[in-house]
Amino acid sequence: MKIALMMENSQAGKNAMVLNELKTVVDPLNYPVYNVGMSDENDHHLTYIHLGIMASILINAKAVDFVVAGCGTGQGAMMSLNIHPGVVCGYCLEPSDAYLFNQINNGNALALAFAKGFGWGAELNVRYIFEKAFTTGERGQGYPLERAAPQQSNASILNDVKAAIMKDNYLDTLKSIDQSLVKTAVSGERFQQCFFEHCQHDEIKQYVQSLLA
């Protein structure tokens, strides 16, 4: 599983700590982590709006399998990621949220709160969230287990509803966004390295290249 971590401007100062906790959990699983957002306050400026665009490009191009994002409350990041096709983002404040989201909703992104309630022992909470997100076995098995069948059915139906609402070609949706927002979202060196090395969608790659030309 390839994982992208993305931090926006208000919480960029916590990137090193969050990245360390994520790698502590997933390195033993041989899951590569790509730190594609802001690494500190002096990095290229990103908001949670940009995170949604970045996540959608990486997921739809199959450059990564899972995105860990967030902002001060986590709410803005969750909404920004969820408006895009192909991205199913859960809101996560504690480890049980990560576990239940994996088992019941089986999405491909998490939005964490990196300021609200982020006090003493916050790094432990982040680590335990990542443990429940990435080390608890097969996803989408339901919880409790006797509810597995309807939960799996509902998760599939929700994905179908989202796909039906967003009927346009994915690239058409990207091109309908203010292109200055998209260009900023793809301007980071680490984002570009992850995207161009692992992109499996030629049309999306050509589109991103055209923005950066």
Pairing of strands 33-35, 66-71: unpaired
6: left (phi over 0), alpha (psi -120 to 50) or beta: beta
The CATH number that domain 3-212 falls under is 3.40.1400.10
> What is the helix (H) or strand (E) element at residue 159, kind and residue range?
helix 148-165
**Over its length of 213 residues, how does the chain's per-residue pLDDT go in tens digits?**
999 999 999 999 999 999 999 999 999 999 999 999 999 999 999 999 999 999 999 999 999 999 999 999 999 999 999 999 999 999 999 999 999 999 999 999 999 999 999 999 999 999 999 999 999 989 999 999 889 899 999 999 988 888 887 777 899 999 999 999 999 999 999 999 999 999 999 999 999 999 999
Closest CA to 107 of 92, 87, 91: 87
Q: Any alpha helices (H) in 33-147, and if so which ranges?
A: 48-60, 75-82, 95-100, 122-134
Long-range contacts: 139-142, Cβ < 8 Å, 24+?
A: 139/102, 139/103, 139/106, 140/102, 140/103, 140/106, 141/103, 142/103, 142/104
Contact 4, 56 (CB under 8 A): no
d(CA 103, CA 25): 19
* Torsion sign across C-alpha atoms 198, 204, 91, 108: negative
Place of tokens 């998760």: 155
Residue spans per domain, the chain? 3-212
Place of tokens 């997921």: 59
Tell me, what amino acid is at 147? R
